[in-house]
Amino acid sequence: MSARAPLIAVYGSSTKRESDAAWQQAYALGAELARHGAAVMTGGYGGIMEACSRGAHEAGGHVVGVTVELFEARGPVNRWVKERIHTPDLHERLRVIVDRADGFIAAPGSIGTLTELFLTWTLLSVKGRPSAPLVLMGDHWRDYLDAHRHPDLVVPHLFEFVQVASGPAEAARLALAGVPAR
């Protein structure tokens, strides 16, 4: 029996466009992950999710989209998704992603991305899964994390669960290096 490809979940804004630098970085991230043999899991819709899905698909990777009933009216699933997992609500969507992914990367995003980031971070720390990497792509995350480095906000040892990468190549490398061997 052959080992399955590592599955890396990527979180990010649904509103970024192809002309945005964040979209281009997400496209490069998807391609980089696929070139290193990983499958990509996103929320399946537009913006960062579509960019990463397209990059992975065009580099020969498998793309999983975890969709949710709430967003069906916003538009179709992006065409790069090859395996769709449809969920009834946001709670189930996040549970599926956290339970199935071998690693996680957060790209630029808004409150939805922050929700995904903090829930993943919390579940990894509660489950004691530092072996499942959580990577934040983009130097802006350093300032964000630094703003939370206060004992009354985030317990200091929890920062051990998070790594920051400057760009797509480093994010892919960190995420894949942290995936346990099968």
Task: Report the CATH fold assignment for 7-170.
Answer: Rossmann fold (3.40.50)
Summarize pLDDT for 38-56 with one digit per residue, the tens.
Answer: 999 999 999 999 999 999 9
- Bridge-based pairing of strands 83-87 and 7-11 is unpaired
Distances (CA, A) of 37 to 5, 10, 33, 161: 6, 15, 7, 24
pTM, entire model:
0.94
- 3 pLDDT band (50/70/90 cuts)? low
